[in-house]
Amino acid sequence: MPPGPETTAGADEASASAGEERPPKTPEDASAPQERPGRAVRLARLARREAPRTAAAVLAGVALALSFPPYDVWPLSVAAVAALALLTRGRTARQAAWTGFAFALPFFFVLLRWLHVVGYDAVFGLSLVEALFIAVLGAALALVSRLPAWPLWGSCLWVAQELARDRLPLGGFPWGRLAFANTASPFTPLAALGGAPLVTFAVALSGGLLAYAVAALWRLRPAGTRTVRAALPGVEALALAAALLLAGYAVPVPTKADDEVKVALVQGNVQHAGMDFLGRPMMILDNHAEATLQLARDVKAGKVPRPDLVIWPENSSDLDPFQYPQAYDRIDQAVKAIGVPVLVGALVDHPGRSGYIDNKGIVWDPKTGPGASYAKQHPVPFGEYVPFRSALSKVITRLQRVQRDFYPGDHTGVMQTGPARLGDVICFEVAYDEIVRDTVKDGARALVVQTNNATYGRTGQPEQQLAMSRLRAVEHGRAVVTAATSGISAVVAPDGTVQQRSEEFTQDVISATIPLRDGTTVADRVGAGPEWALAMVGLLSCAAALLIGRRGQGRTDERNKRGQQ
């Protein structure tokens, strides 16, 4: 690829690159005192100059949000990346940071609008924090846009931005990764090779190549430059983008079963959506117990085959069964009626830390009762625990609704559930690469996502979470079953296709036979290596751009000094 635009060397050139035209200077101008415009005037000029670019960034950010569920227009993810690359290309780091922020804030606001059930201040606050990462990305994209092969370095920077955002602050928040907009696109099979980071890299590189082609073809506007040779770089970039788009079809996605198991997913339903979905005590537990008792009656009548195991969702017991005998007895009654192990979701008092609770999946056997269990490893900050509780609760009184903090578990959710060795992942944990990967590496033959999305019902959040399950199925070559209190419960095949799913806010039981697999994918074997390698390449490209820019500036200053002498 030919090199990108040269780095601007002086103040006049920087102003020109920002679109500010300056008249030629005369000797009289040099001797006359110059009055510096006031700050308000300068800000008004800046706002007027940047308004079209900022508006374009806002539109591109909204377009990126529409590429995610529930809209699922995945090609917009490629177009949005291309737009951000073009809008930041050749800009100063400060200008590009603002463009990245203007792109990201509406993107996250639309994507995370489901948080409005907590409050629009929560939507804006989280969007603001996440947008800061993409503001830094915008500045970095501007730096590397001056290097040869800039689409490649830009795509590595997208991976670096997601790596940081997935881990910081407070354990990170992976929502909005490019990979999660492409769980049913030609890029999806790449997850079997390098997980979500490789899918993000491919999407970003395709967008960068598209931007490169647009920039190359834009340079052909003067009539004298319209030659086949001049157009060749843009055509080549488009061809590479198309090849990358089709590369996923060549990736084998392992789906052959080593065994199979019959499962039943029980969606008991809740009284209503929102923050107060629990209703009266025992209501949600009764819903799931009754649905399981009805399943037992249907099995006895020969209407449906007996499952090998039953899966209840997260929080399916709204009371701690070890503290409330009526909850224990109700669960035990339903489990004995169906006659097979049931994976029950319950909040229980932490056995060793007074005042804390565990969000657990418990294997409940019809003969021996509760046995193996898994405690959620990654509680959600401000939802399942309050960081800096003593200080923040006084300022944000709404946090007092989180009365007790969840305690993080210390091991993966691999448990023998009847005849199947399953890997339990609870709710938002499906968004975190390491948790799911470690669960598969510990021997999970299929994955279970126990979730409670009742708070965010009919907001688009359940669809976004189901999309993550689809990507994980391809990434690890495992069937993924999602059990939700109010929906969406679903069965996802190892190739990412949704075979069955429930409607929201209905009581339902999904019966299915799912494959069990022992083999691992390339993504399982390489782990996080590709993500860190790509991120490091992106950071090194920024360092190279800074170094080259300083050398170029030094040479320019030296020439100016000689000219003055």
Q: Which amino acid is at 467?
A: A
Which of 188, 452, 445 is CA-nearest to residue 309? 445
Using CA atoms, how far apart are residues 389 and 397, in angstroms rounded to an integer?
A: 11
Share in percent of the chain as helix, strand, coil (round to 5): 55, 15, 35
Using CA atoms, how far apart are residues 40 and 38, in angstroms rounded to an integer?
A: 5
Q: What is the bridge-based pairing of β-strands 357-365 and 369-375?
A: antiparallel
541's tokens? 């490209």
Q: Which residues are catalytic?
A: 314, 376, 427
Rg of the chain (C-alpha set): 28
Contact between residue 363 and residue 341 where contact means Cβ atoms under 8 Å apart = yes
Contact between residue 366 and residue 340 where contact means Cβ atoms under 8 Å apart = yes
Strand partners of residue 327: none
Distances (CA, A) of 445 to 170, 419, 423: 30, 11, 7
Burial class (CB in 10 A: 0-12, 13-18, 19+), 350: middle
φ and ψ at 460, to 5 degrees? 100, -20
Q: Residue 224 has what DSSP assignment?
A: G
Most distant CA atoms of the chain, gap in Å: 101
Using CA atoms, how far apart are residues 200 and 120, in angstroms rounded to an integer?
A: 29
